[in-house]
């Protein structure tokens, strides 16, 4: 069975999926935007697991482009997959790191057996990545990863907050 790619405008913390991806920062200890919303709605268990990760394998923080999972606390999901997007730069091409966030999140999700996954528009908030380019990177990277794992997932849901982001994802999804 093939995976469907869908687009939803709304709050990522309300998505009933197996795993929600968090646009985290490398501290794993919370922040604004998606990160703040996930910890607020998900409750303290997520932060406790993040602290344990910092005390263990990720003592120096989670590197940009990598991903790690915790449970999802009170969110209507089973897991949160935390990934650290790159801050957008005009002097350096960091697209590979942004693509890596999507690939690594999918890899972790597949390991967990998560079949439905919700992605926010990683790096497009505080990290200032232009939304059209971010949307194209998200869609092309996910499509390429799915081609290599055609049976791993049922649905990959892109969740956007505002109209501008929705338009960007609609355009990216309409491209071949
Ligand atoms: P980053 O630090 O990676 O840029 P942000 O959380 O600041 O991450 O923003 C990423 C994107 O998520 C932005 O486009 C922002 O509008 C959107 N966003 C913020 N809060 C939510 C939410 N609760 N649900 C879905 N998208 C959100």
What is the complex's ipTM, to 2 decimals?
Answer: 0.99
Does residue 34 line the site of ligand 1, with CB under 6 A?
A: yes
Cα dihedral angle (134, 140, 141, 142), rounded to 10 degrees? 110
The pLDDT confidence band at residue 166, using thresholds 50, 70 and 90, is: very high
**Mutation test of ligand 1: which of 13, 65, 120 has the most ligand atoms closer than 8 Å to its C-beta?**
120
Question: Which residue has a Cα nearest atom 21 of ligand 1?
Answer: 34
- pTM for the whole structure: 0.98
The pLDDT confidence band at residue 128, using thresholds 50, 70 and 90, is: very high
**Residue-averaged pLDDT of the chain:** 97
Q: Ligand 1: distance of its center to the CA of 1 in Å?
A: 31
Question: Which residue has a Cα nearest atom 3 of ligand 1?
Answer: 123
Contact 9, 160 (CB under 8 A): yes
So what's the pLDDT on residue 122? 98
Mean pLDDT value of segment 145-169: 97
Q: What angle do CA 124, 157, 46 make, to 5 degrees?
A: 75
For domain 4-174, the question of CATH label 3.30.70.2740 is answered with no
Question: Which residue has a Cα nearest atom 23 of ligand 1?
Answer: 11
Does residue 161 line the site of ligand 1, with CB under 6 A?
A: yes
Mean pLDDT value of segment 144-169: 97
Contact 168, 132 (CB under 8 A): yes
- Which pair of structure tokens corresponds to residue 34? 């998606």
For the chain, the structural domain boundaries read 4-174
Q: What phi and psi values does residue 159 have, to the nearest 5 degrees?
A: -115, 120
Please give the Cα distance from 168 to 155 (Å, whole number): 20
So what's the pLDDT on residue 1? 64
So what's the pLDDT on residue 176? 74
35 is catalytic: yes
């Amino acid at each position: 069975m093939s995976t469907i790619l869908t687009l939803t405008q709304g709050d990522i913390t309300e998505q009933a999926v197996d795993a929600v991806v968090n646009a985290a920062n490398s501290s794993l200890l919370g922040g604004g935007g998606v990160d703040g919303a996930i910890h607020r709605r998900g409750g303290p268990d997520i932060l406790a697991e993040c602290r344990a990760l910092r005390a263990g394998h990720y003592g120096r923080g989670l590197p940009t482009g990598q991903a790690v999972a915790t449970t999802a606390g009170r969110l209507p999901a089973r897991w949160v997959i935390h990934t650290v997007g790159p801050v957008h730069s005009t002097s350096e091409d960091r697209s590979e790191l942004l693509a890596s966030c999507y690939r690594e999140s999918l890899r972790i999700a597949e390991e967990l057996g998560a079949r439905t996954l919700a992605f926010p528009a990683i790096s497009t908030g505080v990290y200032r990545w232009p939304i059209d380019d971010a949307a194209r990177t998200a869609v092309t990277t996910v499509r390429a990863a799915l081609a290599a794992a055609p049976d791993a997932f049922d649905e990959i849901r892109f969740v956007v907050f505002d109209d501008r982001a929705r338009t960007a994802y609609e355009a990216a999804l309409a491209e071949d």
